[in-house]
A and B are shown apart, each in its own frame.
Chain A
Amino acid sequence: MVDGEARAALAAALESVLERMFFIDTGSAAGSEVPDGEVPVRARLTFEGDPPGWLTLEVSPPAARSIAADFLAVDEASLSAGQVEEVVCELANMICGAALSRLESDSNFRLGAPGVLEGRPAPDAAAIVGSADLGNGILMARLKFQAT
């Protein structure tokens, strides 16, 4: 798989998911990180396919809360941590599926169930990174394909 294709697919997936499902016009946040001192809401899912791999998603806490509130149509003040995590997991699921659909248009892939990721994931230079500026925080996705 060509890195450039995967990077473009991930960027397109981020844009389409955020715009269609969350009505967010994304700004480029290339090279940005969630600021130190903020503990992002993290989700991870693995996928089977050709090749298999995983995707992790990190979202700044204020951004995670606002997109969860919009998605669930509830006030931010009434949101539980579990609801925020659930929406970030769903977001990871959609971004991963949208990216893989662009890359594996003729083959089957199968997504695992997304789950909350506790702690900072180990750095992986081979992972493809996509990010978006949500206005009130950063969203960062890392997509990694495993060698088969």
Chain B
Amino acid sequence: MRAFVRRVIEVSGFELSSCFEAGHGGEALAILRREWVDLVLTDVNMPGMDGEEFLRRLEADELLRALPVVVVSTDATAQRMQKMLSLGARGYVTKPFSPESLRAELERTLGVPCG
């Protein structure tokens, strides 16, 4: 899925100078503490630290809490979406998604049109 999302971002016209991948929230936090990024995409269900705990950790970190996060998940229930948004996510894309819908959500979250 990470390869697919990366490809959609690239072909959508976003300028992707660097892209870091992590298998779970703990790995992502470690990367975010050493690299500057503009946007984070995360799943909910992940081995190790899941998406909810990842968002809590981001929110508790003064340097990272302003980072825009978009959740990409198979869980399309209203309860899950509300939970993730209440934890600080700025956007939510449900799988399956069309490349256009992912692009639109990224544009909305970043506040800039791509390309």
Q: Flag if A108 contacts B76 (CB, 8 Å).
A: no
When C-beta atoms are compared, the residue in chain B nearest to A106 turns out to be B79
The total number of A-B Cβ pairs within 8 Å is 60
Q: Flag if A108 contacts B79 (CB, 8 Å).
A: yes
* A93 within 8 Å of B (CB atoms): yes
Interface class of chain A by DSSP: helix
Q: Flag if A90 contacts B77 (CB, 8 Å).
A: no
Once the chains are docked, how many angstroms separate the CA of A94 from the CA of B96?
7
Q: Flag if B95 contacts A106 (CB, 8 Å).
A: no
Interface class of chain B by DSSP: loop
Task: Given A71-B4, A72-B4, A111-B45, check contact A20 B77 (CB 8 Å).
Answer: no
Once the chains are docked, how many angstroms separate the CA of A73 from the CA of B10?
13
Q: Flag if A113 contacts B96 (CB, 8 Å).
A: no
When C-beta atoms are compared, the residue in chain B nearest to A21 turns out to be B96
Closest Cβ of chain A to B5, distance in Å, is: 11
Task: Given A97-B74, A98-B74, check contact A21 B97 (CB 8 Å).
Answer: yes
* A107 within 8 Å of B (CB atoms): yes
Within 96-128 of A, Cβ neighbours of B (below 8 Å) are at 96-98, 100-102, 104-113
* B80 within 8 Å of A (CB atoms): yes
Q: Which chain A positions have C-beta within 8 A of B75?
A: 97, 100-101, 109, 111
* B1 within 8 Å of A (CB atoms): yes
Task: Given A71-B4, A72-B3, A113-B47, check contact A107 B95 (CB 8 Å).
Answer: no
Q: Flag if B76 contacts A97 (CB, 8 Å).
A: yes
Within 59-92 of A, Cβ neighbours of B (below 8 Å) are at 71-73, 90
* A56 within 8 Å of B (CB atoms): no
* B7 within 8 Å of A (CB atoms): yes
Using an 8 Å CB-CB cutoff, how does the interface string of A21-39 with B read, 1 for contact, 0 for none?
Answer: 1000000000000000000
Q: Which chain A positions have C-beta within 8 A of B97?
A: 20-21
Q: Name which of B3, B78, B80, B96 has the most chain A CB atoms within 10 A of its CB.
A: B96
Extra contacts, 9 of them, besides A94-B96, A97-B75, A106-B77 (Cβ < 8 A), are: A71-B4, A72-B4, A73-B7, A93-B74, A97-B95, A100-B75, A106-B79, A107-B77, A109-B75
Chain B residues at the A interface, C-beta cutoff of 8 Å: 1, 3-4, 7, 45, 47, 73-80, 94-98
A-B residue pairs, 10 tightest by C-beta: A97-B74, A101-B76, A20-B96, A21-B96, A17-B96, A94-B95, A111-B45, A20-B98, A90-B1, A94-B74
| Cβ contacts A to B, 17 pairs, < 8 Å | A16-B96, A17-B95, A20-B98, A21-B4, A72-B4, A73-B7, A94-B74, A97-B75, A97-B76, A98-B76, A98-B96, A101-B94, A105-B76, A105-B78, A106-B77, A109-B75, A113-B45
